[in-house]
Each structure stands twice: as structure tokens, then as C-alpha cells.
Amino acid sequence: MAVSSLVTRYASLVTGHIRYNFPPLRSIKESYVSDLSSVTAVLEEPARGGRAPVVNDLTIHVATVNGSGSQSSNSVLMRSIFQMGVPVSGKNMFPSNIAGLPTWFTIRANKDGWTARKREVDVMVCMNAQTAKEDVEALDPGALCIYDAPLNCKAIRNDIVFFEVPFAKLAGELTPDSRLRKLLTNMIYVGIIAELIGIDREEINGALNKQFKGKTKAIEPNVQAIDKGMEFARSSLPSQNRWRIERMNKTAGKIIIDGNAAAAIGAMFGGVTVVTWYPITPSSSLCESLIDYLKQHRIEKDGKATFAVVQAEDELAAVGMVLGAGWAGARSMTSTAGPGISLMAEFIGLGYFAEIPGVIWDIQRVGPSTGLPTRTAQGDVNQVALLSHGDTQHIVLIPSSVSECFDFASEALDLAEQFQTPIFVLSDLDLGMNNWMSDPFVYPEKPITRGKVLTKEKLTELNGKWGRYADVDGDGIPWRTLPGTDHPFASYFTRGSGHDTQARYSEKPEDYKALVDRLKKKYETAKQYVPKPAVDIRDGAKIGFIAYGTTDFALEEARHQLLSERSIETSYFRLRALPFTEELRDFVATHDRVYVVEQNRDGQMGDLIRLELGEDQRKIRKVLHYIGLPCDARFITNEVLRMEA
């Protein structure tokens, strides 16, 4: 039984609405929550019985078998709600398997725009015999459960509202084709849910059209399946008035996209030219989307490509190609997950030491080792921050939303060339593979940065006198030339071994020290250029939060819970990059206790923050969520209340 029965589930809707003042990049969520005064649903207490319906605030959890084609149905359901104007998110919890293992899809619709994972399930759809018992047992009393008749879920407990559906019979009435029947079965539950919670038929048709890209042949049988489900719900199921979706206007003009596709679009508009990759969950879809977009938008009139993509033989080769391309002047990138990052360690050291640009996206999954390949975590922080033997420190960008995936994709390519070093972008499975609502991405108007490159003309001006690793500008960033530059003094020799300012081999103590000290200085310079944290300081708040990446969604909701339920005002520092910038110390200094909330066991970022802080490190407390599922708000709220007690 879920622990949430201890919690006043709906209290957050009733009291203490505040107008949030988010930093600029938070415009998406701001648009959800800036109009909280319009919230009308009033639930005095969450007891059972005759109550007003909960409008536009529900979680639908669908349990199926992977490979059964439920993805399309779930997308249609989610998109229909989205088209009703209700903020929505969709999370796929899937196994590392092709077909036959349990998979779940969770849709959270929330009028206030809270789209983090929520533990409590309101509407359960049980289609999978393997998990039906567990799925039903995990529900809170009073939840609604639609289940496939043979599963006989109603026998499991008696405090759930059960709706039994003979899916096989209904699907059998639609088609004699057994394969199609399987797919249509999933569409039938879409029709049933739509009828039960009040989704407009018109919006479902729109969503179907979108899902099947206007192909009538594909759409038609699905329309019939949805009709079938709706008709069955009308004629054979009792109506329910507990959860309703009603039309509102919070999604007009918004897009739905996953973070990997957003990153791909960002990279394409960021002028990426060489892309290398090795398939690994959950990052594969980043480069796969990128290939699709590049083929559509980066083939010139003569049919030739302004990009090169290579599926490498492994992650070692992928990052080696990225560095080779970066060395030769391309804007190059790869994407991978933790196991790939582990393999890349040696090359990253070379990139850092020989000062070669390149971008590496890490779509984090649960480690160590193979770990849980299809579950989410933020466990690669330490690894990417310091990857390689010897003294290394890397610039890391940490997007929290799909729009930041878009922005940081080109930002990372810029920083790589500006700082001549590998740049990591740390995303995760939740952000990368799940569906998020967002404002449309803004076209990048600013020209790209190509960094300090000496051309043939500049070399002539300098009479060929230059040093590849000389710090002529005092910022730790040297000048480079690209191979192929037509000047007799353009060349230099790149090596991962010790070198002097002229790129000559050197093992001299003073040369080595000067080199690594300059690299440190370069890292210091980066503090002025990496994305600044998004800081929200509240008057009188004694508690501060620090979080990054996808924890943001749950954290904002938890802050709302703390304020509305406990009148605890909190400040929030959303970290968007490494190295840490000066704002970090200031933030910690102005609060009594600072909770670093992250999704790993050891509080990796918390440790890096402690190292950075000195005296103030005693203020740091850790809230750690590491079960493979995205962090939820209630977890954070409970943990903070426990530690505050």
C-alpha cells in the first residue's frame, strides 16, 4: 500500500496560492502557474463519497506489455488532453527488452502545470497479467481501475472503483486480423478513458491525425476502436464523476517534445557538422532524431550534405572521431549514456590536455555497470565533472527542460570551440526520452562562436610567430590553427604527452606546471561564460534548495507544497552548469540550511558543492532520490519536513 494515504493529497489546491516569479528561462512553467487565481476546484477533504469532481488534475497509469503497441495509444491519450488545453506530461517506464516484459506509461494532467512524476495514481489501466496484482495493490483507496476482464482485478481488494472491460471481445468485433486486434485493444482503452473523464471526441481525432501523420488507412481502424471503447463505456460502465478533464487554455501554442529530439534540433540550428554515435539507451534517439532532422534541413540543392554522421564501432571510436573532427575545425558532437562515458575516459583526458573541442551528451541512466538501462538517474555527475586520469576538470551544462536542451545544444558547441575542450551536456532518461510540454523554441539569432582560430591572413600579420599553447590574452585560452591552413608556419604537433607553449614535446617540470596551471586558469575563465544558475530568493526564507536537471520539476512542486501546506517559504538555486559560479557561495551564505536535492545515492553534486564552499559547507543537507523513477514532489517535501523536525 502506498504511503501517500498519510498525506493530504489535495490540500495544495485549496490554499496559499502565490504568484511565482521565475527567472527568464522558466517561461514555460511560469505560463502554467501565473494564473493560479483561476483555480476553482475545491476539495475540502479527500474523503470518499459525494464530492465535487477533481478537474484537470489526475494521473493515468497504463500497465501493458512492451512490444504491444501501446505507445501510440498512450500518445493519443496524452495529446488529446493537451489539446483540451490542460498541461500534461507523459512518462514511459519501460524494460530493457524488445517484447513481452511489463511496461507502464504515466500521464499526468495538471491545471497548474505540475508535470513531475506523482506517486499517487488516480486512474489505473491494467492490461498486463504479470503486474496486475502489484499494480492494483499499489493504488490508493478510491482510485479508479479499468482492467482487462480475464485479470479479474476486482477480486484483489474492495476499496477501489473497478471497471471491468472485455477487451478481447470488443477487439474481436472490430477485426478478424489478430495482429491488428492487439493494437486496437490499446486504442479501445483510450476510448473508454475519454468517455469516462470527458475528453472531447474531436480532440481525439486531432491527436490520431497527428499520431498517424494524416494517413487515413492507419487512422480509420483506430477511430473505430475509440468509438468502440466510448460506446462500451456509455452502455456498459457506470459513469464516474470523480475525475474530469475540462477544456482550459493553458496549452495553446505549446509543443510536446522529448529532450533528445529538442537537443537534436538545437544541435542542428547550432551548426553541428560532424556527428558520431554508438547506440545506447537512453541516448540513441538523440542522434537518430538528429539524423532525421539533418536529412530534412541540411541537404543542399545539389543533393549534398552539410554534415557527416557516423555510427561508430563503439563509444571510444565515437568520441575519438568527435575529437578528430574538432581538431580539424568541425563542430562535432556525440551522445551516449554512463557506460559510454566510462569508455570515453581516456579520450576525454586527451581532449582536455591537448585542448580539442567536442561536445558529449550524457543521457544518464541508472548505474553502475549495466545498471537499470531504461530507468533514470543523475548518477554521472562526479564522472563527467572530473573524467580521466590526472588533474582534469570539465565544463558541464545541465539542462532542466526541453527548451534548455535546445538552447544548450548550440551553447555547448560554442563553448567547446571557445574553450577548446570537451564539453559535457548532462541530461537524463526522464528528460531525454519522456514527453514534455514547452513553449516553442526560439530561433537563435546570435552568430555562432568559432573561438580563437588563426587564419592564413592572421599568421601572415604575425610573421608566422605564434605558439599553440601560449596564453597571449591572459585568459588561459590559447590560439590554434586548423590543419589545411595554407601557411608554412600554420602547423603544430598535437600530442597527449607533455608539451611546451610551442607544442613541442617536453618533460620539463616548469613546462608541465605552467601547462596545467594555465588549464586551471582557463577553467576559471569559463565561470564567466557558462549558463548562470536560475536563482529565486524569497524574503525571509531560511531554507534554500539547490537542484539541477529534471529534479527541478518535482522541486518546484515541493516548494509549492511546503508553502501552501506548511507556510514554509524557500529559496531555490537551480544549477545549470559546472564550474560553479560566484552566485553559489552567495546563495548558501544567505540561507541557514541548504538542501541539495538530486537523483543519486551519494549526493554527488552535494559533495562537489561542499568542496567549493569551505566554512559554509556545514549548511548543506542532502535529499536523495534513487529508485530509478523520476523524483516526485511529495518525496522531497516529506524528506525536508523530516530533516527540519
Partner 1 sequence: MDSVLKTGTAEAPKENRIGLKSSDYQGGKSTLCAGCGHDAISNQIVRAFYEMSIKPESVAKFSGIGCSSKTPAYFMQRSHGFNTVHGRMPAVATGAMLANHRLMGIGVSGDGDTASIGLGQFMHMVRRNIPMIYIIENNGVYGLTKGQFSATADEGSKLKTGVVNDLHPMDLCALAVQLGCGFVARGFAGDPKQMINILKASIAHDGMAVIDVISPCVTFNNHEGSTKGYQYSKDHQELLHQIGFVQSYEQIEVDYEPGTVKEVEMHDGSKILLKKLEEDYDASSPIEALKRLHRAEEEGQMLTGLVHLNPQKKSFISLLNVTDDVLATLPLERTRPPKEALAKIMKDLM
**Contact set for partner 1, span 547-566 (CB under 8 A):** none
C-alpha grid cell, residue 223 = 477511430
What is the pairing mode between strands 332-336 and 358-364? parallel
Q: Is 484 in the site for partner 1 (CB under 8 A)?
A: yes
Q: Is 290 in the site for partner 1 (CB under 8 A)?
A: no
Q: Is 257 in the site for partner 1 (CB under 8 A)?
A: yes
What's the CA angle centered on 223, arms 220 and 227, to 5 degrees? Answer: 140
Cα→Cα distances 150→182, 188, 190, 420, Å = 15, 16, 19, 61
Nearest CA among 60, 52, 197, 77 for reference residue 139: 60
Shortest distance in whole angstroms from residue 321 CB to partner 1: 4
What's the CA angle centered on 270, arms 267 and 274, to 5 degrees? Answer: 60
The amino acid at residue 359 is V
Shortest distance in whole angstroms from residue 509 CB to partner 1: 20
C-beta closer to partner 1: residue 332 or 400: 332
Of 97-105, 121-129, 304-312, 579-587, the segment contacting partner 1 by CB under 8 A is 304-312
Of 17-25, 146-154, 299-307, 422-430, the segment contacting partner 1 by CB under 8 A is 299-307
What residues from 268 to 287 belong to the interface with partner 1 (CB under 8 A)?
Answer: 268-274, 276
C-beta closer to partner 1: residue 135 or 315: 315
Which of 28, 77, 165, 490 forms a contact with partner 1 (CB under 8 A)? 490
Of 124-132, 163-171, 314-322, 605-613, the segment contacting partner 1 by CB under 8 A is 314-322
CA distance 421 to 586: 28
C-beta closer to partner 1: residue 234 or 297: 297
Coil, helix or strand at residue 620: strand
Shortest distance in whole angstroms from residue 403 CB to partner 1: 11
C-beta closer to partner 1: residue 293 or 512: 293
Q: Is 359 in the site for partner 1 (CB under 8 A)?
A: no
C-beta closer to partner 1: residue 207 or 555: 207
CA distance 199 to 205: 11
Which of 179, 217, 304, 465 forms a contact with partner 1 (CB under 8 A)? 304
Which of 39, 310, 372, 568 forms a contact with partner 1 (CB under 8 A)? 310
Shortest distance in whole angstroms from residue 401 CB to partner 1: 14
CA distance 499 to 479: 15
Instruction: State the greatest distance between any 2 C-alpha atoms of the chain, in Å, as a whole number.
Output: 88
Which of 157, 487, 538, 585 forms a contact with partner 1 (CB under 8 A)? 487
Shortest distance in whole angstroms from residue 313 CB to partner 1: 4
Give residues with Cβ within 8 angstroms of 501, minimum separation 6: 467, 468, 469, 470, 471, 478, 514
C-beta closer to partner 1: residue 199 or 563: 199
C-beta closer to partner 1: residue 123 or 318: 318
Q: Are 17 and 112 in contact (CB under 8 A)?
A: no
Count interface residues toward partner 1 (CB under 8 A).
73
What residues from 427 to 466 belong to the interface with partner 1 (CB under 8 A)?
Answer: 440-441, 443-444, 447-448
Shortest distance in whole angstroms from residue 405 CB to partner 1: 13
Radius of gyration of the chain (CA): 27
Coil, helix or strand at residue 196: helix
Q: Is 189 in the site for partner 1 (CB under 8 A)?
A: no
Shortest distance in whole angstroms from residue 298 CB to partner 1: 7
Which of 19, 215, 247, 297 forms a contact with partner 1 (CB under 8 A)? 297
> CA 577, 579, 582, 584 torsion: positive or negative?
positive
What residues from 323 to 342 belong to the interface with partner 1 (CB under 8 A)?
Answer: 323-332
The amino acid at residue 42 is V
C-beta closer to partner 1: residue 37 or 497: 497
What residues from 64 to 123 belong to the interface with partner 1 (CB under 8 A)?
Answer: none
CA distance 249 to 113: 12
Which of 101, 129, 312, 470 forms a contact with partner 1 (CB under 8 A)? 312
Give residues with Cβ within 8 angstroms of 558, minimum separation 6: 633, 634, 635, 636, 637, 640
CA distance 282 to 267: 18
C-alpha grid cell, residue 524 = 576559471
- The torsion angles phi and psi of 61, rounded to 5 degrees, stand at -120, 120
Helix (H) or strand (E) holding 536: strand 534-536
Give residue for cell 452502455. Answer: 235
Which of 111, 254, 591, 634 forms a contact with partner 1 (CB under 8 A)? 254
C-beta closer to partner 1: residue 207 or 636: 207
What residues from 491 to 510 belong to the interface with partner 1 (CB under 8 A)?
Answer: 491-497, 505
C-alpha grid cell, residue 620 = 548543506
Nearest CA among 294, 338, 347, 346 for reference residue 320: 347
Helix (H) or strand (E) holding 460: helix 456-461
C-beta closer to partner 1: residue 446 or 642: 446
Q: Is 597 left (phi over 0), alpha (psi -120 to 50) or beta?
A: beta
The total of other beta-carbon atoms located within 10 Å of residue 479's CB is 20
Of 33-41, 113-121, 310-318, 522-530, the segment contacting partner 1 by CB under 8 A is 310-318
C-beta closer to partner 1: residue 300 or 615: 300
Label residues 560-596 b or e (16+ Cβ within 10 Å = b). bbbbbbeebebbbbbbbbbbbbeebbebbeebebbbb
Of 173-181, 302-310, 422-430, 616-624, the segment contacting partner 1 by CB under 8 A is 302-310
C-beta closer to partner 1: residue 176 or 488: 488
Q: Are 362 and 336 in contact (CB under 8 A)?
A: yes
Of 125-133, 235-243, 301-309, 574-582, the segment contacting partner 1 by CB under 8 A is 301-309
Which of 482, 516, 537, 641 forms a contact with partner 1 (CB under 8 A)? 482
Q: Is 483 in the site for partner 1 (CB under 8 A)?
A: yes
Give residue for cell 501552501. Answer: 564
CA distance 49 to 68: 36
Shortest distance in whole angstroms from residue 429 CB to partner 1: 20
C-beta closer to partner 1: residue 121 or 350: 350
Which of 307, 469, 548, 553 forms a contact with partner 1 (CB under 8 A)? 307
- The torsion angles phi and psi of 550, rounded to 5 degrees, stand at -70, -10
C-beta closer to partner 1: residue 300 or 539: 300
Strand partners, 397: 425, 577
Q: Is 212 in the site for partner 1 (CB under 8 A)?
A: no
C-beta closer to partner 1: residue 34 or 494: 494
> CA 72, 75, 79, 81 torsion: positive or negative?
positive
C-beta closer to partner 1: residue 198 or 444: 444
